[in-house]
């Protein structure tokens, strides 16, 4: 297959590039490095089936090449510090960037995948969250630039399917962790790694009772491949059902290291969801149940990657 991936230098995008190349496909990566990392691109530059285009997909996607089989739109700042630093750019890549990617797919007769997010559910009043839940999002809050960008991206993706006949898939990605995350991305897993490396207290915002379900990056990539190779599913949750509160997560993390990190409590962050967990009924019935990497095993891999 011939595949174009926007956001190819990002955490998830770079793992997708790697998997496709390992399976013998041709990949064009597009990134402007606003939150992606050049070193992720450099992993693949010597590969004969990989081409990289440095571009802002919100302006244009300057692809000139063989007909594409898939356009996979994964470009966007995705961590709170990054999308709060670049709120306009985040909104634009969700709006104009998504339309540009859809236009490219339409022109090539390619299938299209949108990387959406569990953030479209906001601070959910339904738990766990099924794909049919419309969410509880603050449209003017500090996180809204990301949440609403993805909600709009979903809307225009469905419009291109209904109006232009583009074969589209929307995946709502829940909390994912693993190697190649940016250590400055402000997420809980990388904050734990930073505390371990720097021997500093880990900051818990709130009382530590807020919950998340964490999936290892290899599980997400495998799930994406199942979605690609299954009959069309308009929108699907991709995440683990194994739910942990932040205090439980710290305890698991400390159990894997020779020395424990301390922690301290800070004021809660604005609009931070109290719970987040996918309802996986649709996933299990459409692409099959998945044996997720355990939190302990995934954290071990991540610690080994960052702590040399």
Kindly list the catalytic residues.
146
Length of the chain equals 308
Work out the number of other CB atoms within 10 angstroms of the CB of residue 272: 14
Q: Is 146 helix (H, G, I), strand (E, B) or coil?
A: helix
HSE-CB of 28 using CA atoms within 13 angstroms = 20
Strand partners, 263: 202
| Maximal CA-CA distance, the chain | 57
277-308 burial code (b ≥16 CB/10 A, e <16)? bbbbebbeeebeebebbebeebbeebbeeeee
Residue 72's nearest CA partner among 85, 63, 84, 83 is 63
Distances from the Cα of 22 to the Cα of 48, 215, 216, angstroms: 12, 22, 19
HSE-CB of 182 using CA atoms within 13 angstroms = 20
Please, are residues 223 and 185 in contact by the beta-carbon 8 Å criterion?
no
Q: Which residue has the tokens 């710290």?
A: 250
Residue 272's nearest CA partner among 154, 119, 90, 134 is 119
Cβ within 8 Å of residue 132, ≥6 positions away: none
């Amino acid at each position: 297959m011939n595949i174009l991936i926007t956001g190819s230098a990002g955490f998830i995008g770079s793992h997708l590039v790697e998997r496709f190349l390992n399976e013998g496909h041709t990949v064009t990566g597009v990134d402007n490095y606003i939150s992606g990392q050049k070193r992720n691109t450099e992993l693949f530059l010597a590969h004969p089936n990989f081409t990289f285009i440095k571009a802002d997909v919100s302006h244009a996607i300057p692809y000139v090449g063989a007909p594409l089989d898939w356009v996979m739109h994964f470009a966007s700042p995705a961590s709170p510090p990054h999308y709060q630093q670049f709120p306009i750019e985040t909104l634009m890549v969700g709006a104009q960037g998504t339309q540009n990617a859809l236009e490219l797919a339409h022109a090539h007769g390619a299938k299209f995948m949108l990387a959406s997010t569990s953030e479209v559910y906001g601070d959910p009043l339904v738990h766990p969250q099924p794909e049919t839940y419309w969410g509880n999002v603050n449209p003017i809050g500090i996180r809204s630039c990301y949440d609403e960008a993805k909600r709009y991206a979903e809307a225009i993706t469905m419009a291109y399917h209904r109006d232009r006949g583009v074969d589209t898939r929307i995946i709502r990605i829940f909390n994912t962790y693993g190697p190649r995350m940016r250590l400055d991305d402000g997420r809980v897993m990388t904050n734990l790694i930073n505390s371990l490396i720097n021997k500093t207290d880990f900051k818990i915002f709130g009382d530590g009772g807020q919950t998340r379900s964490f999936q290892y990056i290899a599980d997400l990539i495998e799930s994406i491949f199942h979605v690609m190779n299954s009959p069309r599913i308009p929108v699907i949750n991709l995440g683990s059902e194994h739910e942990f509160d932040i205090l439980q997560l710290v305890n698991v993390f400390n159990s894997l290291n020779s020395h424990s990190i301390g922690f301290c409590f800070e004021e809660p962050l604005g609009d931070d969801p109290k719970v987040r967990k996918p309802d996986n009924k649709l996933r299990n019935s459409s692409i099959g149940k998945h044996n997720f990497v355990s939190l302990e095993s995934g954290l071990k891999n991540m610690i080994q990657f960052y702590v040399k």
